Amino acid sequence: MFTTAVAPAAVAVPTAPAPAGVVAAPAATAVAAPDIPVANVKAHLAQLQSIATANGGNRAHGRTGYKASIDYVKGKLDAAGFITALQTFSYNGSTGYNLIADWPGGDTSHVVMAGAHLDSVTAGPGINDNGSGSAGILETALAVSRAGLKPTKHLRFGWWGAEEYGMVGSKNYVNSLAATDRSKIDTYLNFDMIASPNPGYFTYRYDTALDALFRDYFAGIGISTEQDFEGDGRSDHAPFQNAGIRVGGLFSGADYTKTAAQAAKWGGTAGQAFDRCYHSACDTSANINDTALDRMSDAIAYAIWTLSAGDTTPPTGTVFENAADVQIPDNGAAVTSSVAVTGRTGNAPAALQVGVDIKHTYRGDLVIDLVAPNGTTFRLKNSSGNDSAPNVQTTYTVNASAVAANGTWKLKVQDVGPQDTGYIDSWKLTF
């Protein structure tokens, strides 16, 4: 997505058309998405709980409970008419399994894919993490079958193994694809924890159109969403994103603490984690919020029906980019990289896109701001001791409608912790 070439100055270039199938407007003749019965989703969770109970209390990679879980999902999909494939890999001395399910039909050169990890940690049965996402996409897939859906684009679903060891299964799948097959995946949607007992409603922010797809859906049912930061690089969307595939998804929160503002907006308890049983033995069938599970499952179906329906018009705009490398001092002063915006009329847009590519060994130490020509500062990313992943490669959206567009904009980055290195590779503003 970003180039590593050094550029002497920022230049404006027209935006290339987006790949087909990534914009959130359905075709006029699209069939409306069905309501996903939450009772059906919970029935799958009950089966996963029973499997864990019968297999040492968990469904972890390399354990009998995981293989039984994937056999359960495969049996449901086979009976519903999906073409399934069990992909094996080896990790930590054990055989791992991914399950890939293709719905027959649709243009296989344009694939819409949804996925979720099926494994738990060894400490517990993993019913919210991530039985919930796995059950949500399973019931959506079964709804595709019940409807006899004939999408324009090809539909594919994936259940990943060994996510809890660092997205091992999904990495294996993406790496196993030939470059031509990777290029056929227009969109990957990830669903990891969608029923947290003290839930939030978070959307993946990496792609503006996919973020808007979910944000608009929830706005339509009176729910305000927030963009997710807790899950950056920590789930199965990351291998797809790193391969250049557009990603989106939903998340209801893990061990981050719900704020008072979030509790006022969504209900629940401020000052408590979204999921106090995260990665614990108590992540059982009792660790589920039915309302969140219901809403999130319906949103999954909405996205699948919408994105697979047909062609849409991609967004247009002008990009101002600086690809000159700027070293970031370790635990030192902030550095900036500038772009000069010219030729615009009036103020910047309410949804100004800020694409960032920072190579860094520990991104949790990074604080990132966008500084407007008039000095207004937009915080893009705070430091976080819970985020040990490398690199920041994402697109942020800020409301800059109160700021004149023309002038020098700056990306300001500071490393606030010791013992890590990195640099600004490139960044861009899209108007």
Strand, helix or coil for residue 239 = helix
Backbone angles phi, psi at 25, to 5 degrees: -95, 125
Contact 126, 169 (CB under 8 A): no
Tokens of 143: 């709804």
Cβ partners under 8 Å of residue 181, min gap 6:
none
The CA distance from 269 to 259, in Å, is 8
Length of the chain equals: 431
Q: Is 163 a catalytic residue?
A: yes
Q: Which of 163, 164, 230, 321 is catalytic?
A: 163
Alpha carbon distance 146, 148 (integer Å): 6
In the chain, how long is the greatest CA-to-CA distance? 66
Asked if 212 contacts 137 with a C-beta cutoff of 8 angstroms, the reply is no
Q: What is the rounded CA–CA span in Å between residue 256 and residue 246?
A: 26
Q: Is 310 helix (H, G, I), strand (E, B) or coil?
A: coil
Query: H helices then E strands: how many in the chain?
Result: 9, 18
Q: Which two tokens stand for residue 65?
A: 């409970």
- How many Å apart are CA 320 and CA 156, to the nearest integer? 35
Buried b (16+ CB within 10 A) or exposed e, 8-20: eebebeeeeebbb
Burial of 286 (0-12, 13-18, 19+ CB in 10 A): exposed
What residues are labeled active site? 163
